Amino acid sequence: MLALTILGNNSAIPAFGRNPTAQLLQTLDESYLIDCGEGTQLQMSKYKIRRSKISRILISHLHGDHYFGLIGLLTSMSLLNRTQELHIHAPAPLEEIIRLQLTVADAHLNFPLHFHPLAEAGLIADDKKLRIHCFPVKHRIECWGFLFREKKNPRKIDPERARIYEIPAAFYDQLQQGKDYVNKKGTIVPNEEVTTPASEPRSYAYCADTLFDEGLAEHVRGVSLLYHETTYLKDLHERAAARYHSTTVQAGAIAQKAQAGKLLIGHFSSKYEELDEFLNETRTVFEQTELALEGVCYRI
Amino acid sequence: MLALTILGNNSAIPAFGRNPTAQLLQTLDESYLIDCGEGTQLQMSKYKIRRSKISRILISHLHGDHYFGLIGLLTSMSLLNRTQELHIHAPAPLEEIIRLQLTVADAHLNFPLHFHPLAEAGLIADDKKLRIHCFPVKHRIECWGFLFREKKNPRKIDPERARIYEIPAAFYDQLQQGKDYVNKKGTIVPNEEVTTPASEPRSYAYCADTLFDEGLAEHVRGVSLLYHETTYLKDLHERAAARYHSTTVQAGAIAQKAQAGKLLIGHFSSKYEELDEFLNETRTVFEQTELALEGVCYRI
């Protein structure tokens, strides 16, 4: 199970009730916060997000609309008596900013905070349910995308058939891994007799803020759900390029080239009150597109 | 005219829809932002506050619930093309935090930002309509209160009587200052003949986060409106003292000792959902008390 909840979908300045970027990716075990614009902790309260489940926070880059809410979230977690460790993956200078703000407040966090500076493309976390890779994207300052891939899921045991073959529960873990069972008489029970195939591992890619860059498709090929920014509608492609952002049809082109399952678009410029045209334009290029809407949970 | 709008009234962690501390004091000419907790720029949008009118921002201390919204507000002001200068009065380390956050974003503000570190009690600004003094308060870290005093208001001209005495409009400024008029024949028209006394200058004191400290009354004696924190109800006076905060009846005692006109209480702990008891308890000591409620504008 992978699910993505949008906590903020706007660029730069909050506008029309839309908040700066923040997303929560959830597995059954853990939650991952991706970017943390100002007010993210308020959005978490609004949408009843359990902060204690968050094990890692990933920050794509150090423009304020992607991290100004982080220090407030960290200090609130501490005031709410969090004790379990938290990992932050972010561009290196963020560590100094956090330390400085804690120092001047004469504050320390109640929980261990592990800071992992993003330095090169590759694996950054290997957790129970998924692996996380980072990859560089083209923005005005150092900026990173993130790819989350579920690990191979366990096969599903048919309990009725497992009982018929008298397979002990202690062997269920191995059944889920695909092992055959050998009973007391030495007879082999083929795994396929008592299990059904696992669901296909799912994946999610977050491309952060980026210039239109076809090379991105290589990093996210075949991803189940691709998030790509669409700061502007297609007529403003020159402004988009000048500001290291993308348009609707450019996001659609990346999704198509990467053969993504679905595309989610967001990071809308504050100049737009209505978002319908973002969807219309992007769908002319890539039909399986949705708007990233605040408070909505997208099953992946 | 002095008016105070509350943008946030909660302590530490946002709770029950209450935001961290921020207040806006307005004269006819200028606005002053006092503290700037996370989400203040969103509150300004919600309550339709004109940011362009803000000439000074005063930060009492560097606990996050009093300043984490500042960097977002500054960058938004710049993105919204502010050009007029802005003054910040705050504890010295805030300047480094702001500069660092701008540097890592490769950002610069479109407007001149003048940083004035708070260093000693006394006058910190002498503006058209008012003077601002700061004074130290007792908190866990360096913390400052602010006193805003209107300058002497101009006398009010009775236009009908001024016409009768054939006083030229060019002399009205001097009439407002209390000068007598001498007409062409050399006859003196006493000022009191054509003007009425100015309204009494008003004043506002913001006592920030503070331990109960009777010495505070000296700094704010006779103030029209006194804001004093009440983080806790009276039964938690030991917790209040341990955390350098105050209770309801302690705030009332300061208002009484200072002979304030009115008392406004806020900075409520996140442990309280209902606020009625704050008002009831404080009024047992000082009758002219109101709750600082978000979005409400208090005429001073």
Whole-model pTM: value is 0.90
pLDDT at A1 over 90: no
Closest to A244 measured CA to CA, from A135, A152, A142:
A142
Contacting residues of A for B96, CB less than 8 Å apart: 100
In terms of domains, do B99 and B244 share one? Answer: yes
In angstroms, the separation between the Cα of residue A75 and the nearest Cα of chain B is: 8
In terms of domains, do A222 and A248 share one? Answer: yes
Tell me the DSSP string of B147-187: EEEEPPPPPEE-HHHHHHTT--GGGHHHHHTT--EE-TTS-
Q: Which domain holds residue A280?
A: 3-153+199-299
d(CA A73, CA A169): 43
- Reply yes or no on whether A65 is catalytic: yes
d(CA A204, CA A5): 12
Q: Do B71 and A68 touch (CB under 8 A)?
A: yes
Contacting residues of A for B71, CB less than 8 Å apart: 64, 68
The domain tally of chain A equals 2
ipTM higher than threshold 0.90 = no
In angstroms, the separation between the Cα of residue B55 and the nearest Cα of chain A is: 20
Q: Give the tens place of pLDDT for each residue, B239-292.
A: 999 999 999 999 999 999 999 999 999 999 999 999 999 999 999 999 999 999
In terms of domains, do B88 and B143 share one? Answer: yes
In terms of domains, do B106 and B213 share one? Answer: yes
Looking at this protein, which amino acid is placed at residue A167?
Answer: I
> What pLDDT sits at residue B154?
86
Looking at this protein, which amino acid is placed at residue B195?
Answer: T
Q: Name, in order, each residue with C-beta under 8 angstroms of A36's C-beta and a sequence gap of 6 or more.
A: A22, A57, A59, A66, A67, A68, A69, A70, A73
Boundary-marking domain end, from A196, A221, A250: A196
Distances B55 to B83, B135, B140 between C-alpha atoms, Å: 12, 20, 29
In terms of domains, do A141 and A217 share one? Answer: yes
In terms of domains, do A206 and A218 share one? Answer: yes
Length of chain A: 300
In terms of domains, do B129 and B213 share one? Answer: yes
Q: Name the token pair of A175.
A: 């059944």
Confidence at B1, pLDDT banded by 50, 70, 90: confident
Q: Under an 8 Å CB criterion, which residues of A touch B?
A: 12-15, 19, 38-39, 41-42, 45, 62-64, 68-69, 71-72, 75-76, 79-80, 91, 93-94, 96-97, 100-101, 104-107, 140-141
Closest to B195 measured CA to CA, from B180, B213, B216, B209:
B180
Confidence at A118, pLDDT banded by 50, 70, 90: very high
> What pLDDT sits at residue B17?
86
Closest to B22 measured CA to CA, from B43, B47, B1:
B43
Distances A206 to A103, A226, B83, B234 between C-alpha atoms, Å: 32, 6, 35, 50
In terms of domains, do A266 and A172 share one? Answer: no
Cα torsion B268, B269, B272, B277 to 10°: value is: -40
